[in-house]
Amino acid sequence: MCDGHVDARAIGQKHNAPDGWWHDAFDTLEELRADGLLDLSSGTVRMSAKGRPLVRIAASAFDAYLQDSSARHSVSV
């Protein structure tokens, strides 16, 4: 996501993840999409110019450890 986009489908293929592994993350990102902060399509997340400062929040949707933990080492604003 350093470039403002990520192809989750391609990453999943590269690491032999099951098809659709990103669906839960996309469900989490739906509110950001509705606010015009990113675009979700065909397994790709693309941050808008307006959403670019919030890329850490978008990336956190893919963090399985963060989902299951109450500990927070660094919090985005």
Tell me the mean pLDDT in the region 33-42.
94
CA distance 33 to 45: 9
What's the rounded Cα separation, in Å, for the pair 30 and 18?
Answer: 21
Q: How far is Cα of residue 60 from the mean position of the Cα atoms in its chain?
A: 6
Mean pLDDT for the stretch of residues 3-16 = 92
Cα distances (Å, whole numbers) of residue 27 to 18, 24, 32, 71, 74: 17, 5, 10, 22, 23
CATH top-level class of 5-67:
mainly alpha
Residue 56 scores a pLDDT above 80: yes
Q: Compute the mean pLDDT over every residue in the chain, rounded to the nearest whole number.
A: 86
Does the structure show a pLDDT above 80 at 1?
no
Q: Given this model, what pLDDT does residue 37 score?
A: 96
Q: What is the pLDDT of residue 66?
A: 72
The yes-or-no verdict on residue 74 having pLDDT over 70 is no
With the C-alpha atoms ordered 20, 34, 47, 1, is the resulting torsion angle positive or negative? negative
* pTM for the predicted model, two decimal places: 0.76
